[in-house]
Copies of this chain bind each other. A is one copy, B any other.
Amino acid sequence: MIIGLIGFGVVSQNLFRLIKSEDIQFITSFENRSSKTIENIKKTDILVLDSFKDVASKSDILISATSPNSALDVAKQYGKFTKGIYLDLNNISPDTTFEIRNHVDNLVDGAIIGKIDSDNPILYLSGDKSDELLFLDEFITTEKISNNIGDVAILKLLRSSYTKTLSAILIESSQIAKSHDLEDEFFDILTLTEGQEFREKSISRINNTLNNSKRKSEELEEIIQYFDDNDLTMTKAALKKLNQ
């Protein structure tokens, strides 16, 4: 079996590290790659072809893991050349996923949740061709969500909405606590019911959100746009909070 990689960032590097089998040959190309990426690929035994067109046409599974902005272009350029499964692992919206479906046969919509470089990330898949990728469970926990392309992208948005809104609450509550000189005690008292990791996790969430508030706001705006048929009282409040 041949797995083609378009993109060789953290996701591809870790998939290559995790999926070790004599029956699987990874292939990629240096085409338009940065010198740093070329160096990283040279350190591996990945087979390097002349072009991504070649990679696409030779792959049983073609993995697109580049960047949200280029995901659609990659699909348009190379999707048509593969007869295998096209697994999109970019962090893209449901709408982009639906658009990619128009350019690619055998699309599978995927996401890795949990830290990819930890021991227990999970690869979530949706689309009816997901079944053919369940053998990956041997290398990385792999779960099929449904036959519906886009369901993994929707789940990512839901998760992102929940965690960002939660961060907004943590920011608000801890700031009120701080204004009463009770910040430490606030975390102590909640640790009792929220679990031992509450303080560390919360402070990391607060800092991560405050340090990246512009990007987080943009992501919240996308979420609000996508789910606008639903009541979004809390999500909209989180956006307001982050924009303060």
A residues lining the B interface (CB < 8 Å): 113-114, 120, 122, 124, 143, 145-146, 151, 154-155, 158-159, 161-163, 165-166, 168-170, 172-173, 175-177, 179-182, 185-186, 188-190, 192-193, 195, 197, 227, 229-238, 240-241, 244
CA–CA, A155 to B191, complex, Å?
A: 13
Q: Copy number in this complex?
A: 2
Tell me how far the C-beta of A56 lies from the nearest C-beta in chain B, rounded to whole angstroms: 30
Query: Of B120, B151, B173, B233, which contacts A182 at CB under 8 A?
Result: B151
Are A162's CB and B180's CB within 8 A?
no
User: In the complex, which residues of chain B have a beta carbon less than 8 angstroms from the beta carbon of A122?
Assistant: 192
Decide if B172 touches A232 in the complex (CB within 8 Å): yes
Overall SS of chain A's interface: helix
Contacts of A193 in B (CB 8 A): 113-114, 163
List 8 additional A-B contacts (Cβ < 8 Å) besides A114-B193, A179-B230, A195-B197: A113-B189, A146-B181, A154-B182, A155-B189, A162-B173, A172-B233, A172-B234, A237-B237
Q: A114-B193, A166-B166, A189-B113 are in contact. Are A155 and B172 (CB under 8 A)?
A: no
A154, A168, A185 pick with most chain B CB within 10 angstroms: A185
Chain B hits for A236, CB < 8 A: 237
Q: How distant is A144 from chain B, measured CB to nearest CB, in Å?
A: 10
Task: Indicate if the CB atoms of A169 and B158 lie closer than 8 Å.
Answer: no
Q: Nearest Cβ in chain B — how far from A182, in angstroms? A: 6
B180 touches A161 (CB 8 A): no
Determine if A192 and B114 form an interchain contact, defined as CB atoms under 8 angstroms apart: yes
Which of B179, B230, B237, B241 sits near A175, CB closer than 8 Å? B230
Asked if A169 and B176 sit within 8 Å, CB to CB, the answer is: no
Q: Contact check: which of B170, B172, B180 meets A235 at CB < 8 Å?
A: B172
Once bound together, how far apart are the Cα atoms of A227 and B238, in whole Å?
A: 19
Chain B residues near A231: list those with CB within 8 A: 172, 175, 241, 244
Across-interface contacts of A159 in B (CB, < 8 A): 186, 189-190
Taking CB atoms, residues of chain B closer than 8 Å to A169 are 162, 165-166, 169, 234
A151 to B186, CA, bound (A): 11
Residues of B within 8 A of A170 (CB): 162
With a cutoff of 8 Å between Cβ atoms, the chain B residues found around residue A244 in the complex are 231, 233
CB within 8 Å for A233 and B237 given contacts A182-B151, A190-B159, A192-B122: yes
